[in-house]
Each structure stands twice: as structure tokens, then as C-alpha cells.
Amino acid sequence: MAVYTIDDSRKVTTLRLIEMKRQGKKIAMLTAYDYTMARIFDAAGLDVILVGDSASNVMAGNYTTLPISMDEMIYHARSVVRATNRALVICDMPFGSYQVNATEGVANAIRIMKETGCDAIKLEGGEEIIDTVKAILAAGIPVCGHLGLTPQSINKFGTYTVRAREQAEADKLLRDAHLLEEAGCFAIVLEKIPAKLCAKVCGEISIPIIGIGAGPADGQVLVAQDMLGMTRGFTPKFLRQYADLYSVMTDAIGSYITDVKSCDFPNESETY
């Protein structure tokens, strides 16, 4: 059984993540959307918990991340924050909550911080949303960027395939990463881009780069339900599956059904 030993039990801060990059220490991040999972992740020593808008797919069964609302993200983030002592908690700003203008973006970012108690927010995009990023930072809210495959723009892309293989898109991504760093973001998630481009960004940018399907970076993030093997039929190349909880849970539930139907459960010791 692999048990990770935490070398620093203090609450993880955005500043600590930047120090970790300077010291060459890798950052481990996973998504969580509820109290029970977040409690386990925090106790296991995870550095960062992302309350991702992938909750739209994973928790609500939507096909994309677009339908999830501010109220739903706040519900998920609040539950995660209640469970967390050490990990830094980042909450995704949902689609539509920051794209209209900076004023709306700041108001929604403030609402997320106030109503959830999370430590930071994440939003998708570079140059197009840089004024909003700056305005949110000016309100004192730490911002994590997200470039590469940005699922809130899936209807524009039309595909979940690897991004920035073309030089022009790679150049834009690098420019966007510099813009986000200069604006004052504390980290950037890079999703599904070539490893060579990710290595270039990691080398040029002083804030932590957290990869998902981007090869080696300053840290990694995965959707928890995918890496725990709870989801079926999603097997992208970048996904390492650490458990087969789908089978574990199916077996456990099968045993329960058998025990109930055979009157084996509850037995005398399980009865008042």
C-alpha cells in the first residue's frame, strides 16, 4: 500500500506553490466536488484540490462543462472547503460567469470567494479575458489560468483533440502564458498540448505550470473519478488509472444485494 508522507503540514498557499516551483518540488492536484472525497484527498497529502467545472460531466452527467451554474459550483466548492485543512482549494468559474465583461467577472469571483471560502479561482483563456483576470486580481483574489484545451470553448474547437500542434497556436499559447504571468496569476493549467510546448512554457514562466495531458510540468492534475477508475469508456493516452473503483464498487454493491435478498443482512450483531 502506497502511503505518502507529508513533509510540511501547514496549509498550502499560492505563495508556497510558487516556492515549490523554485525548489523543483512537484505539485500534486486532483479534482474533487464533494466533502467525502475531499476529506480523503486532503488527508492523503494532496497539495491542491480543484473544484473543477468538470463537475458538470462527472457529478451531473452533462455532455460538456457549459451547463453548470454559479450556484452549483458554489455548492460543490463549499462542500470541498468544509473537508479541507491543508490543501489549497481552487474553484473553477463556470462558463458565462466571466466572459461578458470584467465587472461581471469580478462580481462572480467575489461571490465564489465569499460564499465558498475557497482559496483561489480558475478561469479559461488568455488575451481575450486578460482585463477580467487583472480586475479579479486587483480585487485581491488569486487567479489560476487555464490554456490549451479549454473545455468551455468546445463548441468553438469542435473537438477534444490535442491543441497547439500548429506553430501559430503554440505561439499564441506562449504569449498568453506570459500575459497571465505578468498580470499576476499564481499558476497556469495547461491541458492537452504537446509535451515539448509545455516544457518551453515551464522554462520561460516563473509561476507553476500544472499539466493535464501535457507531459512533464511543475505539477499534474487529473479528474479524480478518472484516475480512480470510477468512470468507464474514457481512456485517453494521458490518463493513468490508479485503481479500479468501478469494479470494487460493483462487487461491493453486488454482495450487498445478495446479502439483503438472502436475508443474511442484517444479522443478529447488526440488530438492536
Footprint of ligand KIV (CB under 6 A): 31, 50, 52-54, 92, 189, 191, 212, 221, 223
Closest distance of CB 57 from ligand KIV, Å: 8
Helix ranges (H only) for the chain are: 14-22, 35-44, 55-58, 70-83, 102-116, 130-138, 154-157, 167-183, 195-204, 224-227, 245-261
Residue 220 CB, nearest approach to ligand KIV (Å): 10
For residues 240 and 261, which CB has a smaller minimum distance to ligand KIV in the complex?
Answer: 240
In terms of phi and psi (left: phi > 0; alpha: psi -120 to 50; beta: otherwise), the region of 184 is: left
Q: Toward ligand KIV, which CB reaches closer, 132 or 220? A: 220
Residue 195's region, left for phi above 0, alpha for psi from -120 to 50, else beta, is alpha
Sequence-distant (6+) residues with CB within 8 A of 175 are 126, 127
CB of 143 to ligand KIV, least distance (A): 14
Which of 224, 188, 246 is CA-nearest to residue 34?
224
Nearer to ligand KIV, 132 or 225 (CB): 225
Instruction: Identify the helix (H) or strand (E) that includes residue 220.
Output: strand 219-222
* Comparison of 60 and 252: residue with beta carbon closer to ligand KIV: 60
Whether 70 and 59 have beta carbons less than 8 Å apart is answered as no
Beta bridge partners of 146: 189
- Could you give the CA distance from residue 124 to residue 189 in angstroms, rounded to a whole number? 9
CB of 115 to ligand KIV, least distance (A): 19
Please report how close the Cβ of residue 261 comes to ligand KIV at its closest, in angstroms.
38
Cβ-based burial of 194 (10 A; exposed 0-12, middle 13-18, buried ≥19): middle
Q: Where do runs of H (alpha helix) occur along 117-166?
A: 130-138, 154-157
Catalytic residue positions, numbered: 191
Closest residue to ligand KIV using C-beta atoms: 52
Q: Smallest gap, in angstroms, from Cβ of residue 270 to ligand KIV?
A: 39
The gap between the terminal CA atoms of the chain, to the nearest Å, is 36
Distance CA 158, CA 151 (A): 10
Our CB check for ligand KIV shows the closer of 54 and 132 to be 54
- Which of 52/208 has CB closer to ligand KIV? 52
